[in-house]
Each structure stands twice: as C-alpha cells, then as structure tokens.
C-alpha cells in the first residue's frame, strides 16, 4: 500500500449552486428538515446535514454556474419520505426503486428536484 500525500478525515462541507436562495432555503429547511445554521443575506445559506455543513450559494463565477453533482440523502423510510415529497408538490423523477441487492441489504433510490432544479436522491438501505 502506498502512503497517501494527505489523509482526509471527513467531508467538512458540501456546496450546491442555487439561484433563488430564499426559496431553496425554505425547501431544505421546511421540506427536507435540515437544521438551518445561518444565512448570509440572499447569497448563501448553511445547514447541518448529519454533521456535514451543507451550503447553498449563488455561483461565484461563470465557470461554476453549472448543474450540481447528485446528493444522496439517507432516510429511514423511503416510501414515507417519497409520499412527503409528493405532498409538498416536489418534482419527483420516479417512485422509490431497488437499484441493488447486496448480501445483507437492498439499496433503494428515489430521484427528485429542488426548487432550482438540482437533482437529489433519497437513499435507503433495507435489511
């Protein structure tokens, strides 16, 4: 085994592009239930997501103004979470589906979009 140049301990923060910070702040706080930490005007909003700081921000330069990577949000009950998204009028790409059967659990995903069109996925591991 090679010695790495650095040793990453954990993910400290994830940034997601957003254009309408007030709308996406309300969505992540009120629909997804993330704990809102603080906002910087209408430029940025910060949340706690299971110990990882999650930042919504306007793209700071043209080269950063592009679709996001997909965030996978772990839930205990994907069917209940899916129903809650539908009840809040969230655009869901498809219902929850098993995507992998592993030796000790099944991996289920359900893609949906936030108010700015960013793609996210509910994720559940069913034993």
Per-residue confidence (pLDDT) for residue 119, from 0 to 100: 93
Q: Are 28 and 71 in contact (CB under 8 A)?
A: no
Phi, psi (deg, nearest 5) at residue 84: -65, -40
Fold for domain 9-63? 2,3-Dihydroxybiphenyl 1,2-Dioxygenase; domain 1 (3.10.180)
Q: Identical fold at 9-63 and 67-127?
A: yes
HEC readout, the chain: CCCCCCCCCCCCEEEEECCCHHHHHHHHHHHCCCEEEEEECCCEEEEEECCEEEEEECCCCHHHCCCCCCEEEECCCHHHHHHHHHHCCCCECCCCEEEEECCCCEEEEEEEECCCCCEEEEEEEEC
Spell out the domain ranges in the chain: 9-63, 67-127
**pTM as predicted:** 0.87
Per-residue confidence (pLDDT) for residue 26, from 0 to 100: 98
Per-residue confidence (pLDDT) for residue 53, from 0 to 100: 96
Question: Could you tell me which CATH number the domain at 67-127 has?
Answer: 3.10.180.10
One digit per residue, the tens of pLDDT, for the chain of length 127 reads 678 877 888 889 999 999 999 999 999 999 999 999 999 999 999 999 999 999 999 988 898 888 888 999 999 999 999 999 999 999 999 999 999 999 999 999 999 999 999 999 999 999 9
Per-residue confidence (pLDDT) for residue 5, from 0 to 100: 72
């Amino acid at each position: 085994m090679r010695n790495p140049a650095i040793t990453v301990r954990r993910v400290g923060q994830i940034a997601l592009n957003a254009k309408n910070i007030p709308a996406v702040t309300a969505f992540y706080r009120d629909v997804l239930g993330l704990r809102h930490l603080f906002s910087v005007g209408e430029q940025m909003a910060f949340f706690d997501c299971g110990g990882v700081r999650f930042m919504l921000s306007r793209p700071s330069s043209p080269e950063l103004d592009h679709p996001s990577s997909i965030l996978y949000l772990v839930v205990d009950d994907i069917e209940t979470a899916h129903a809650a998204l539908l009840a809040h009028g969230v655009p869901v790409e498809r219902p929850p589906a098993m995507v992998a059967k592993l030796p000790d659990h099944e991996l289920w995903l359900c893609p949906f979009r936030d108010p700015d069109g960013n793609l996210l996925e509910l994720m559940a591991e069913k034993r």
